Amino acid sequence: MLLFGLFLEAYMHNFNLVYILLFFVFATAFSAGSFGLLNLGQLQSAFDHSGRLFAGEEGQSVFRLFNPAETVSWAIRLHCDEEMIEIPRIDPDETRYVSLAITAPKRGKFTCDTCSLQSLFPLSTVRFVLPMESCLDVLVYPKPFGKSLHSFLLHQRASFGEEKDFDGLALYSGAESLSRIHWPSVAKGEPSVKVFEHENQSQKLEFDFYK
């Protein structure tokens, strides 16, 4: 609207200065678009990998950017699924891995084919957009509920391993089985539970979410 008003004012009153100003504005916008095109012209971008994503929780996805040109790419913005991150510069022949926060709304397959690169150089108001070569395509797991694995192993030691010798008494926390309560200590007003040494066949508990 401002440019239209200036043009109308110049047309009605024959203001050469306004014509010069309009020419300068349009020339700047055109040159900014050309520089933005050159800034993004040879950049190669693709989705690389992602950590485990849970529904409704923020996770990290990694994108790979490569600049095969002999010049530096300045002020690049990576945009994907309403999330964005700005990269000040990418040097020639440099491969840059960029992590972007992604929140999937529900479990299942999550894709985003609107990922793109934007050039903020030389003017952030005139942007050239380059679509990403490969879109975001990940599997989203259900949001976990309940006790953590550490809490389960801490309070339910009888659920794994093999009991050995009696190891002493510990204060009753309310989570132990009634069969482990040391009743003489209850009679004294200090509820305790019996603790035994455990022998485990394996020292690790592993989960493979990708099979």
What domains can you pick out in the chain, each with its CATH number? 39-141 (2.60.40.10), 149-199 (no CATH)
Nearest to 46 by CA among 109, 113, 118, 135: 135
Is this structure's pTM higher than 0.85? no
Average pLDDT, stretch 134-149? 79
**How many whole angstroms separate alpha carbon 168 and alpha carbon 102?**
48
Mean pLDDT of the chain: 75
Lowest mean pLDDT among 5-19, 75-89, 190-204: 5-19
Question: For 56, how many CA atoms within 13 A lie in the half-sphere containing its CB?
Answer: 4
Residue that wins the pLDDT comparison between 121 and 92: 92
Distance from the first to the final alpha carbon of the chain: 58
Q: What is the pLDDT of residue 49?
A: 85
The candidate with the shortest Cα–Cα distance to 63, out of 81, 49, 76, is 49
